Amino acid sequence: MLAILLVGSLLCGAVSQAAPRAARSGAAQNRQPTIKFVQNPEAAPDFNLQALDGKPLTLASASGKVVLLNFWATWCGPCRMEIPDLIELQKEYKDNLQIISLLVDVDDVEDAKAFVAGAGFNYPVAVATPEVRMQYGGISALPTLFVLDTQGRIVQKHVGLSDPRLYELEARALLNMPIPFKVETFEDTGEIFLKNASRAKELPGVDLSRLTPEQRMAALHSLNAEGCTCGCKLTLAQCRIYDSACRISKDRAAKIVADLSPQPPENAAPEHNVNSHARPAAVQPVPTPEKTPLR
């Protein structure tokens, strides 16, 4: 509870400092911090795993609770940094919240068990199978945390280290508890499920700004229809979302866009009078501009 009060006071304090001017301009409402959830969320893929303590672990076992499904690894520094806060969060909201921890890239299960025991985990930990990882989009970075509502639907996804206070705010919002934030919704265009990349109007590293609406539609259709050859087994659009550093999908996407882009007009050739026998004027030297020093 201390974390929610702290973040609430900090953010509300920042808003209140601008309150006199905001009140005059009517912008106070627009300045209120927000959290966002997916509109029309889809059910999280279920799994049946064995936790490190030997007990069965499924999503169904957390039915009716908000679930934080955390993919991580023991060798991942940011993953280890958030563990103490997740432990405190589980302790604070044990009746309404369930954290489920899925390990990836495990070389030695016994080492993982020793790490979990030493860290004092109070929520279940299991090793994610390759099938589970692919069901959740392949997990391109660690940690990756999915937020599930009480109906088992994925409403948000966080990739990389996030402030655990944000997880608490999201959990409270899903539990209809008061928070100093507005709640807004957004359409999933591949941020949660890669299969929804076909809804995206923009893709990472793909410049569609020069295209007409019709050309943009054609480009997006091609990017969603053609598979990437980098080995990811995804479409070009999905690969751009899943791995924005992939040069293969980036270069191929640029080629598709270039083929559809309006071509710049060619420079008109200079006129040449074949009947002219006049002596050409002397060529005047072109003055060399002075170099401007970089500031």
Kindly report the CATH number assigned to the domain that includes residue 134.
Answer: 3.40.30.10
**Total domains, the chain:** 2
93 and 165 co-located in one domain: yes
**Does 249 map to a domain?**
yes
CA 217, CA 99: separation in Å to the nearest integer?
Answer: 41
164 and 120 co-located in one domain: yes
- Boundary (domain end) residue, out of 186, 205, 223: 186
151 and 49 co-located in one domain: yes
Question: The tokens of 137 are what?
Answer: 């989009």
161 and 216 co-located in one domain: no
**Burial code of 210-238, b = ≥16 C-beta within 10 A, e = fewer?**
ebeeebbebbbebbbeeebebebebbbbb
Question: The tokens of 276 are what?
Answer: 């002219």
CA 216, CA 226: separation in Å to the nearest integer?
Answer: 15
162 and 233 co-located in one domain: no
Which segments of the chain are extended strands (E)? Answer: 34-38, 42-43, 48-50, 56-58, 66-72, 97-103, 125-127, 144-148, 153-159, 182-186
The predicted structure's pLDDT at residue 274 = 42
Question: The tokens of 236 are what?
Answer: 């070009």
158 and 118 co-located in one domain: yes
58 and 124 co-located in one domain: yes
Active-site residue numbers? 76, 79
Give residue 132's domain range.
Answer: 2-14+25-186
**Does 284 map to a domain?**
no
- Boundary (domain end) residue, out of 130, 154, 186: 186
33 and 163 co-located in one domain: yes
76 and 159 co-located in one domain: yes
pLDDT digits (tens), the chain, 295 positions:
434 444 443 344 333 333 333 333 444 455 678 999 999 999 999 999 999 999 999 999 999 999 999 999 999 999 999 999 999 999 999 999 999 999 998 999 999 999 999 999 999 999 999 999 989 988 889 999 999 999 999 999 999 999 889 999 999 999 999 999 999 999 999 989 888 999 999 999 999 999 999 999 999 999 999 999 999 989 999 999 988 999 999 999 999 999 998 776 555 444 444 444 444 444 444 444 443 343 3
35 and 130 co-located in one domain: yes
Closest among 254, 227, 238, 252 to 199, alpha carbons compared: 238
pTM > 0.85: yes or no = no
76 and 161 co-located in one domain: yes
